[in-house]
Structure 1
Amino acid sequence: MAEQKKVRKAVFPVAGLGTRFLPATKAIPKEMLTVVDKPVIQYVVDEARAAGIEHFIFVTGRNKAVIEDHFDIQVELYNTLRDRGKLDELGHLQELQPQAGQTSFTRQQEPLGLGHAVWCARELVGDEPFALLLPDMVMQDKKGCLTGMIELYEKVGGNVVSVEEVPEEETHRYGIVGIGDEISDEGFRITSMVEKPTPGTAPSNWFINGRYILQPEIFSILERQERGAGNEIQLTDAMLNLAKDQQFAGYKFKGNTFDCGSKEGFIRANVSFALLREDIRNKVEGDIRRMIAEL
């Protein structure tokens, strides 16, 4: 039996236009909108780094150069902070800075869907398993979502997707998985995957929340994958084909997930992360209570 390969690389599809946030995203990528004082994409990259990811692969599009700049060294800024004695701020920026050679950027030249965006990273990923993190989805938990997924992957191998529960009446809005044998308290075998099932037909109430560990065979499937819903190459369709030959496990994420691609989720994320910050919590909480009382 071949030795199970370590998950070293992560793919971040950041080519989307962010039309739900216009006019804010007319000139600023949606991934660079800030939750408290960090861009959304920084939270997702931090989650990957905490899980031991060594190589960060960004699938970008037009007008996304600021993302590349964000993860680069800004010599003038660093020097200015050093000259002004703002060493705490400088140290914080340096902690977030990927090391030389740890980031790669490739273009998705046409908006052909998530599956196509993943396929665009094939040469950078190579013949090894990889993590896929959707940048709109920001996770909040003591143990990072991807950290828990990798722990499960190291036990069972194959492919792993993060899932969490949703009310039965909302299952038609998500990709839902069928539940098989329990692997542990943190995961189970997946028996099926259904994208936005018709109300009343969902195989469970566990939905895929934007985190994946996939084997490289997905790339050859995506290469010949026909367009599906929205005339786009759908990742779920490719995973269904991969599941014919490989096992999928579901990691039961029990923290908070914020869909920062929606205005409601973005605001919830700002409030929730602000309330975790000792430096601003009391003021923010007091202001929220006062505003609610005044409604």
Structure 2
Amino acid sequence: MFKKVRKAVIPAAGFGTRFLPATKAIPKEMLPIVDIPTIQYVIEEAVEAGIEEICIITNSYKQSIENHFDRSFELEEKLKTSNDLEHLEMIEKITDMVNVVSVRQKTPKGLGHAILCAKSFVGNEPFAVLLGDDIVVNPNGKGAIRQLIDIYDQTGCSVVGTRNVKDEDISKYGIVADIKPQDNGYNCVSEFVEKPALEDAASNLAILGRYVLTPGIFEKLETQPAGRGNEIQLTDAIDRLSHDEDVYSCPFEGNRYDVGDRKGFLQAQVEFALNRDDTRQAMEEIIEALGYTKTGAPQNEAPIELKIFKSKQK
């Protein structure tokens, strides 16, 4: 029996420069998808997977993340006084969701360094990593991190969440360079490359925002030299870890939204609104007012990337 994955680390110390000027004062992880902060969706995924404790890696200007998951006595008292029990229950649920602590990454030295900041929190246990600007929704099945944990539970090894990406996106991600099917039905990876150029990439299989790692990763991170961007890269440390112990790939199921990117953020706004009972009609009215109407036409016939809308205008 392998140790249970009880803890998760969420790196959220980046400056969010792709969303300036909004992120000058507001953490990108707190930008809402409709009315729920991005990072709350990520934490809910972790909680649904059985995670009991979460460490958010932040920096000095991201106190609002910590505040969101803490008690707000004045707000709670105001809601009680006004008998707004619906909203009171909502914010109490957020506070009671899971035990959340935060650790500051004092110097921006990359994702690998951010994970290393959580070493004391993790201790000698396996742990999950969920990137704070990646939302994955799998309405008809298990969440992405739960799918990775299931493979860890069978193997006791590190697991990375993977998907195939387009050629033009290869240089944005850590890429799986060598994969070997195993008798247990899973795929073992023995080589990873951080953000290779297209011509240097061995595959289109990328690591996308979800990991389960054994504590052996910390030894690698502590001795990991700076890599691409002069930062300590988590992919480089996982590559070294794969030389000492098995690391598996999990091509997780679900709809993934890179909400750290403008296009992904806008896509999430539209699709999440269309999938909520309380916002669907409003979003449909907005889209129709812009000249689009419902249709069963294939997506590639639409002038915008919406699954159920096609322009009236020819």
Aligned residue number for residue 55 of structure 2: 57
Distance 2:143 2:34 in 1: 19
Counterpart amino acid of 1:75?
F
Does residue 147 in structure 1 map to residue 138 in structure 2? Answer: no
Counterpart amino acid of 1:48?
A
| Structure 2: gaps spanning 5 or more residues | 293-310
Equivalent of 1:112 in 101, 109, 114 = 109
The 1:239/1:285 distance shift into structure 2, 3 A limit, reads same
Q: Percent identity?
A: 45
Equivalence map 1:31-42=2 (5 Å): 31-42=29-40
Does residue 255 in structure 1 map to residue 251 in structure 2? Answer: no
Q: TM-score, normalization: structure 1? A: 0.92
Distance 1:13 1:183 in 2: 34
Counterpart amino acid of 2:76?
Y
Does residue 21 in structure 1 map to residue 53 in structure 2? Answer: no
* Structure 1 residue 286, shift from structure 2 partner: 3.0
* Structure 1 residue 15, shift from structure 2 partner: 1.1
Aligned residue number for residue 88 of structure 1: 86
Equivalence map 1:159-198=2 (5 Å): 159-168=158-167, 170-177=169-176, 178-181=178-181, 187-198=186-197
- Higher relative CO (CA 8 A, sep ≥ 6), structure 1 or 2? 1
* Structure 1 residue 254, shift from structure 2 partner: 2.4
Distance 1:202 1:182 in 2: 23
Deviations 1:190-245 (A, max 9, x none): 23212223324433322111110111111111111111111111111111111111
Does residue 128 in structure 1 map to residue 132 in structure 2? Answer: no
The 1:206/1:184 distance shift into structure 2, 3 A limit, reads farther
Distance 1:16 1:202 in 2: 26
Distance 1:277 1:130 in 2: 32
Q: Is the 8 A contact 2:190 2:243 kept in 1?
A: no
Does residue 210 in structure 1 map to residue 199 in structure 2? Answer: no
* Structure 1 residue 182, shift from structure 2 partner: 5.7
| Structure 1: gaps spanning 5 or more residues | none
Distance 2:48 2:9 in 1: 15
Q: Secondary structure at the match of 1:5?
A: coil
Q: Is the 8 A contact 1:31 1:135 kept in 2?
A: yes
The 1:23/1:275 distance shift into structure 2, 3 A limit, reads same
Q: TM-score, normalization: structure 2? A: 0.87
Aligned residue number for residue 226 of structure 1: 225
* Structure 1 residue 167, shift from structure 2 partner: 3.0
The root-mean-square deviation of aligned C-alpha atoms, in Å, is: 1.9
Counterpart amino acid of 1:9?
K
Counterpart amino acid of 1:122?
K
**Aligned length, in residue pairs:** 291
* Structure 1 residue 282, shift from structure 2 partner: 2.1
* Structure 1 residue 77, shift from structure 2 partner: 1.0
Q: Is the 8 A contact 1:179 1:204 kept in 2?
A: no
Q: Secondary structure at the match of 1:193?
A: strand
Q: Secondary structure at the match of 2:283?
A: helix
